Every structure is written in structure tokens, then in C-alpha cells.
């Protein structure tokens, strides 16, 4: 899985990929445990081999607000904390038991110093994150909850049934009751 992920960028030789894979550490995170919590300093990136994560923050009113899900074959980090060194403004929680491959920030910095194609890779990751953020922003502005739910169902059909309703409803910006009505109306 992770080998195919790196191959998809067409930047690395097979030997470079093998070398990089040796830098990753494995970690198991159990359901409801955390990869990073609000206030922590994020000093690693994770590749999700299995499991589902949600990213959330606590609103000024004390509400738990899910704004992102991460699925197998995704990279995951509290990117603003990782880049800036500031405390994370988000919490990343496992929705299911998960297996991660972890790459520490100091290893990434070493790769960037010694291999120019890593700078290109990190630029591509930053561009992907920006496009994902922009897509999410426009979804919230242009689409109603049923359209957003349909898009999630279309893009992640194998995993959506494993996400608890309260997290899906929060992600969509609706109540669980409204989500139940939408799910009854939409059939795939």
C-alpha cells in the first residue's frame, strides 16, 4: 500500500522507496485513542494502513466539531503544527482500531537536506492538502447536507458505515435526526 502511494508520485526510484520505508515505525492505535491532541506539538506524519480517523476541535460553545475524516492509504498529521512547530489546534482520534506507519519530522528534514526530490514530494503533499481544504470549503458553501453526504458515500463507500452517526452529523453540520432522514432518502 505505502509503496504504491510513493510510486504514484513518479518521483522516487524503487531503491529510494525501499530506503524510505525503512525509516517508518509501526504503531497501533486503538479505537477512541489519539494520534495527536489539541495542544500537542505534532512531530510526525502517519500513513494509515488500516483504520479510520476523524479530526475535530472543540468550538467556543464547547461542541465537538468533526471537520475531516482520514481513511486507509491517506497521510495524516496536524499539518499546521507539524510545519510551524506551534501546538495543534485539532485532535485526531481513531474511529476504529488502526495500524499506522510513522515518519518522524527529523527524518523528513534529513531526507529534504539529502534528496531534492523530497522537496518536490512535500510540495505536492502541501498542494493536495490545500485542494482538499478548498474543496471542503466550497462543499460547505455550495452544497446542502444531502449532497455532502452523497459525495462522502460515493468517495468512501467501504468505510462510511463504520463512522458513528454523531461524527457524520457533525461533519455535515446537521443533527443526527436530519442525517437519519437523509440516509433513508438516499439509497445506493
- Per the CB < 8 A criterion, the answer to whether 12 and 6 are in contact is yes
Question: What is the reported pTM?
Answer: 0.89
CA distance 47 to 70: 10
How confident is the model at residue 14, as a pLDDT? 93
Quick one: CA dihedral 53, 57, 58, 63, positive or negative?
negative
How confident is the model at residue 187, as a pLDDT? 62
- The closest alpha carbon to 44, from 27, 56, 57, belongs to 27
- Per the CB < 8 A criterion, the answer to whether 176 and 66 are in contact is no
Quick one: CA dihedral 34, 170, 70, 180, positive or negative?
positive
- The closest alpha carbon to 149, from 130, 128, 163, belongs to 163
How confident is the model at residue 135, as a pLDDT? 87
Q: C-alpha distances in angstroms, 63 versus 36, 59, 166, 170?
A: 19, 5, 12, 9
pLDDT along the chain (188 residues), means of 10: 92 92 97 97 97 94 92 94 95 98 96 92 92 86 88 85 91 90 80
Residue for cell digits 453540520?
Answer: 173
Amino acid at each position: 500500500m505505502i509503496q504504491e502511494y510513493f510510486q504514484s508520485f513518479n518521483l522516487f526510484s524503487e531503491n529510494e522507496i525501499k530506503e524510505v520505508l525503512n525509516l517508518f515505525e509501526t504503531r497501533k492505535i486503538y479505537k477512541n485513542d489519539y494520534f495527536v491532541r489539541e495542544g500537542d506539538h505534532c512531530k510526525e506524519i502517519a500513513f494509515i494502513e488500516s483504520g479510520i480517523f476523524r479530526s475535530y476541535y472543540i468550538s467556543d460553545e464547547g461542541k465537538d466539531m468533526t471537520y475531516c475524516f482520514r481513511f486507509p492509504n491517506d497521510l495524516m498529521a496536524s499539518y499546521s503544527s507539524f510545519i510551524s512547530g506551534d501546538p495543534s489546534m485539532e485532535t485526531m482520534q481513531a474511529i476504529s482500531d488502526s495500524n499506522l506507519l510513522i515518519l518522524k519530522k527529523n527524518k523528513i528534514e534529513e531526507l529534504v537536506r539529502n534528496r531534492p526530490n523530497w522537496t518536490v514530494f512535500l510540495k505536492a503533499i502541501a498542494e493536495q492538502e490545500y485542494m482538499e481544504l478548498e474543496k471542503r470549503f466550497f462543499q460547505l458553501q455550495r452544497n446542502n447536507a444531502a449532497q455532502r453526504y452523497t459525495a462522502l458515500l460515493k468517495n468512501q463507500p467501504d468505510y462510511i458505515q463504520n463512522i458513528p452517526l454523531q461524527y457524520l452529523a457533525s461533519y455535515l453540520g446537521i443533527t443526527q435526526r436530519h442525517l437519519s432522514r437523509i440516509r433513508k432518502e438516499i439509497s445506493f
